[in-house]
Structure 1
Amino acid sequence: MSTDDASDPPAAYDDLLDRYRRVSNLRQASMFLNWDQQVTMPEGGAPGRARQLSSISATSHELLVDDEVGGWLADCEDAALDDEQAASVREIRREYERNRSVPDELVEQLAEVGSENQQIWQDAKAEDDFESFAPRLEKLRDLSVERAGHIDPEKPAYEVLYEDGQPTLPIERMEELFETLRAEIPPLVDEIRESGTDLAAPFEGEYPEADQRALCAAALDFLGYDRDRGRLDSAPHPFMAGNQFDARVTTRYKPDDPMDALTATVHEFGHASYQLGLRQDRYAEPMGQPRYSIHESQSRFWENHVGRTKPFWEAFLPTLQEHLDGHDDLTPQEAYEAANRIYPENLIRVEADELTYHMHVILRCEIDRAFVQGEIGVDEIPRLWNEKMDDYLGVVPDTDSEGCLQDIHWASGFAGFQGYTLGSVVAAQLDAAIREDLDVDGLVREGEFEPIHEWMTEHVHRHGRRYETEELVEVATGEPLTAAYFVEYAREKFEELYGL
């Protein structure tokens, strides 16, 4: 039972929420230990860090699935709760029911293996040595499948693992979105290839890391990043870690491509903006936590619908020229073109252009699924990867470091790549909605980002996990989730850029 009116919840609700806060704080501690492992920890610290993370994971699991939690959930079943309270109970119940059948020992083992894999993956990538990583990948797969069997023995293991990241968006619905993009993106890329049009590629030579770092820091300041609640660092694979009080951004620097570090920084800023926009008075509660199925929409919105627009470059170009030598004559149009070049020959997902990026995601999902389901062995992954790169993008990596070892994700889990494409779909729908209310291009051109932040906070961030994925999209945009806005946006943008 729920109502829009505030009510006095039963004591069981208070006990339930207090327990969940403890679990959330342990998870936050684990996340920041993981951040430290990827950013500042010395390489020799890996064995100890694996045990630390394993202990935290086991303790938080024990607290979550304790019999007391089941009793409190039962007491809340028919209580008169307001809508936010009812949503909190729903979210905690989902986690409790999903995890209660998983043995503590397996939880601890998975956390330890995932942490150990971080350093092993980094070394394997650096040395182009997939064979050294393969046994670890196979072990993690076997443990993950075992866990899936405890959660729901009637479902395919891959679907259970998918629900870790997308618990409120059925996999069938995700596949519908993917089918739309499979049908729309390759023909558009083919048209661009056949056009023979080359966009500006003004960045040549090498750029000192210190200059790139200063440029990325300036971009964060330009966008309104709260330095009192965040920081910028580098990592082998860019990521964001944080909450509404501390949301940290990482990027990485390529000597010959400053645009790569810049777009990655803007992307991770989008993630941080979501975290920093969550309600502080609901920290560690479901209403103060992000809906992870929506997270990527925030990074893709800021990266693509802000950072890759011509108004952005009209405003930001002087800052780039201040930090990077040799570009005093660069025009906003040339910078805009450089940020939006389509280059299917690119091998790396996080460096991919806005369109072919999704083919990188799709091939990973296909390999991911086949491996988890036992349709391919671990030793077949490099070959299958190269075949799919050839089929989807017409390019084959020379090394596994540029191929199946490039992503960090398989070091810790499976069935999570779908969220990247979902993020682009939702970002385009949010972009269409926000432009009904705000002159986004005008604001970006003037460097006035606060109204955009406020709109996203009002329509997305402040809700936390009150709504499930598709409901949140509809609440934010007024329409059901659809890929139509992304298709329309992509075709309109790239037809104009390439004169199609």
Structure 2
Amino acid sequence: MSEDGSAYDELLDRYARVVDVGNAQGLLRWDQQVMMPEGGTPARSKQLSTLSSLSHDLLTDERVGELLDDLEDADLDAEQAGAVREIRREYRRETRVPRELVERISEAASEALPVWESAREEDDWDAFAPALEELLDLKREYAHHIDPDRDPYAVLFEDYEPYLGLDTAERVLGRLADEVPPLIDAVRASEVDLPSPFEGEFDPATQEDLARDVLDALGYEWEHGRLDTSTHPFSTGTQFDARVTTRFSPEDPLDSLYSTVHEFGHATYTLGLPREEYGSPLGQSRDMTVHESQSRLWENHVGRSRAFWKHFLPALIERFPRLDGLTPGEMYAAANRVDPDNTIRVEADELTYHMHIALRFEIERDLVADDLDVAEVPQVWNDKMEEYLGVRPETDRDGALQDIHWSHGNFGYFPTYSLGSVLAAQLSAAAEDAIDDLDGRIAAGEFAPLTDWLCSEIHRPGARMPTDDLVESATGEAYSADHFLEYVTEKYGELYDL
């Protein structure tokens, strides 16, 4: 074995231990949100803090730096070079952050979670505010250590999307903010009133059966996953164990159904990563823009399509016989109703969704910059909601307390939802070109051709390419909002006779 090969193998062996610790943290966080007894937080926060410290020490070990130096000018193939690039990027960021700060952030986030859950339940922003202030202070310090001369929000954003850049996020979000609201206004002015067939209450236990039906239909690998409930739906895991959660609204079975489909998109991406590369960047996902593209593609381009309801409507009616008589066309219309009065992001339609992201993006940028006091967030949130969508949340539970992200200290995550939605449309267009009669196959319940194409083009490449290169490789085009804007203009123009 060459000296370069020996250094590369040792580097990957060391990095695999970092990955193992991170995945153990993920399982503990899953348990905290799904199964842990209410009183378990003090020990769990210490456990997660210890694992964060261990991960930091493993990644920043002096030997890792020596190996990266040895490989600086090594003759590596494309896959090896990609793996080294990713490890070097993480190493450079992590070595600038003191271990004590890593521990404090982990512990504060773990302790903030039950505080947020209680504050949300009690509709009490003031109860959550101190935890949020602490996390903001810690994450500002974290960003300052990484690069004291840059916008701290840009530094934090790179934890979730390291390659497209905050300038791309601002450009794409700005374009959506310019071009989506006129379409929303046109829908408001339309005389078309799409029906909603859901009246009364729908049994949550039966909704769970329906959620399992949809996971079965889409091809979820139950031997490598599970479905549970949580306050905020999420997915976590590895290519061997990718779990999803959902939640149930008695008034609207589509809420849990689309949350489940969304998290399936995340899980099927995770399960599609190459198993033989577990522990290497080659076996890891390509950050959150791409991850959200998978969830939004399955949720919107598949789950809200006519073809999907041609296939899945019988299962819905079987679970809820009172819906008998509905047609696939009526379900398609109901699944795509634009409702600007809805204040909940995860329940929002494809158009108004991006206004929900815009207000969060603006608020958290101001919070990180210390240009907005935490106490002022509910008022600013409600003002922006009224400005962008013409509605004010009646409670903070339905306003500034609705999302889990800030309780994790995940400042900079929200833009990736819109970036991912844009990419989902671009990937969907490429898949339609590549797969013969994709709509017909979905209508027949044949989801494997789409899964296989996504696995080939997005999942199996892992993190071997930067985001923009992966997008161009999969679609033949540079990352762009064009496909998304064409898609929503055509779709909602037809639905609302615009």
- Which residue in the other structure is 2:341 paired with? 345
Q: Determine whether 1:355 maps to 2:354.
A: no
- Which residue in the other structure is 2:38 paired with? 43
1:386, 1:403 within 8 Å by CA — same for their partners in 2? yes
- Which residue in the other structure is 1:416 paired with? 413
Deviation at 1:9, TM superposition (A): 4.0
Counterpart CA distance in 2 for 1:323 and 1:23 is 44
- Which residue in the other structure is 2:218 paired with? 223
Counterpart CA distance in 2 for 1:365 and 1:176 is 13
Instruction: Read off the aligned partner of 1:369 and give its amino acid letter.
Output: R
Counterpart CA distance in 2 for 1:196 and 1:58 is 59
2:293, 2:422 within 8 Å by CA — same for their partners in 1? yes
Counterpart CA distance in 1 for 2:234 and 2:2 is 40
Q: Tell me, what secondary structure is at the counterpart of 2:430?
A: helix
- Which residue in the other structure is 1:380 paired with? 376
Instruction: Read off the aligned partner of 1:475 and give its amino acid letter.
Output: S
What do the CA deviations read for 1:139-167 (whole angstroms, capped 9, x no partner)?
00001000111100110111111111111
Describe how 1:146-161 pairs up with structure 2 within 5 A. 146-161=141-156
Q: Percent identity?
A: 54
Q: Determine whether 1:402 maps to 2:398.
A: yes
Instruction: Read off the aligned partner of 1:223 and give its amino acid letter.
Output: L
Deviation at 1:200, TM superposition (A): 1.6
Describe how 1:282-297 pairs up with structure 2 within 5 A. 282-292=277-287, 293-297=289-293
1:260 pairs with 255, 260, 276, which one? 255
1:462 pairs with 457, 460, 463, which one? 460
Counterpart CA distance in 1 for 2:330 and 2:265 is 24
1:88, 1:466 within 8 Å by CA — same for their partners in 2? yes
Counterpart CA distance in 1 for 2:156 and 2:2 is 36
Deviation at 1:108, TM superposition (A): 0.3
Deviation at 1:7, TM superposition (A): 8.4
What do the CA deviations read for 1:72-120 (whole angstroms, capped 9, x no partner)?
0000111111110010000000000011011111000000000111100
Give the structure-2-normalised TM-score.
0.98
Q: Tell me, what secondary structure is at the counterpart of 1:463?
A: coil
Instruction: Read off the aligned partner of 1:222 and give its amino acid letter.
Output: A
Give the structure-1-normalised TM-score.
0.98
What do the CA deviations read for 1:385-425 (whole angstroms, capped 9, x no partner)?
00000000100011111110000000012111000001110
Deviation at 1:179, TM superposition (A): 1.4
- Which residue in the other structure is 1:446 paired with? 444
Describe how 1:175-194 pairs up with structure 2 within 5 A. 175-194=170-189
Counterpart CA distance in 2 for 1:460 and 1:8 is 32
What do the CA deviations read for 1:362-397 (whole angstroms, capped 9, x no partner)?
100000000100101111101100000000010001
- Which residue in the other structure is 1:15 paired with? 10
1:472 pairs with 466, 470, 476, which one? 470
1:54, 1:109 within 8 Å by CA — same for their partners in 2? yes
Describe how 1:57-456 pairs up with structure 2 within 5 A. 57-292=52-287, 293-413=289-409, 414-438=411-435, 439-456=437-454
Q: Tell me, what secondary structure is at the counterpart of 2:423?
A: helix
Q: Tell me, what secondary structure is at the counterpart of 1:10?
A: helix
Instruction: Read off the aligned partner of 1:459 and give its amino acid letter.
Output: E
Counterpart CA distance in 1 for 2:2 and 2:262 is 40
2:217, 2:445 within 8 Å by CA — same for their partners in 1? yes
1:39, 1:234 within 8 Å by CA — same for their partners in 2? yes
2:4, 2:70 within 8 Å by CA — same for their partners in 1? no
Q: Determine whether 1:32 maps to 2:30.
A: no
Instruction: Read off the aligned partner of 1:375 and give its amino acid letter.
Output: D
- Which residue in the other structure is 2:490 paired with? 492
1:10, 1:76 within 8 Å by CA — same for their partners in 2? no
- Which residue in the other structure is 1:3 paired with? none
Instruction: Read off the aligned partner of 1:328 and give its amino acid letter.
Output: D
Instruction: Read off the aligned partner of 1:301 and give its amino acid letter.
Output: L
Q: Tell me, what secondary structure is at the counterpart of 2:460?
A: helix
Deviation at 1:197, TM superposition (A): 1.3
Q: Tell me, what secondary structure is at the counterpart of 2:321?
A: coil
Q: Tell me, what secondary structure is at the counterpart of 1:233?
A: strand
What do the CA deviations read for 1:184-228 (whole angstroms, capped 9, x no partner)?
100000000001211120011001111000000000000111110
Q: Tell me, what secondary structure is at the counterpart of 2:159?
A: helix
What do the CA deviations read for 1:54-80 (whole angstroms, capped 9, x no partner)?
000010001101111110000011111
- Which residue in the other structure is 1:483 paired with? 481
Deviation at 1:8, TM superposition (A): 8.0
1:7, 1:82 within 8 Å by CA — same for their partners in 2? no
1:290, 1:465 within 8 Å by CA — same for their partners in 2? yes
What do the CA deviations read for 1:326-353 (whole angstroms, capped 9, x no partner)?
1111111111111100000001000111
Instruction: Read off the aligned partner of 2:164 and give its amino acid letter.
Output: L
1:278, 1:288 within 8 Å by CA — same for their partners in 2? yes
Counterpart CA distance in 1 for 2:299 and 2:155 is 30
Q: Tell me, what secondary structure is at the counterpart of 2:478?
A: coil
What do the CA deviations read for 1:302-324 (whole angstroms, capped 9, x no partner)?
01110000111011000001111
Counterpart CA distance in 2 for 1:364 and 1:118 is 19
Instruction: Read off the aligned partner of 1:347 and give its amino acid letter.
Output: T
Aligned residues: 495
Q: Tell me, what secondary structure is at the counterpart of 2:228?
A: strand
Instruction: Read off the aligned partner of 1:326 and give its amino acid letter.
Output: R
Instruction: Read off the aligned partner of 1:348 and give its amino acid letter.
Output: I
Q: Tell me, what secondary structure is at the counterpart of 1:436?
A: helix
Counterpart CA distance in 2 for 1:44 and 1:341 is 41
Counterpart CA distance in 2 for 1:325 and 1:46 is 43
Counterpart CA distance in 2 for 1:79 and 1:469 is 24
What do the CA deviations read for 1:435-468 (whole angstroms, capped 9, x no partner)?
1111210110110111111100111101000110
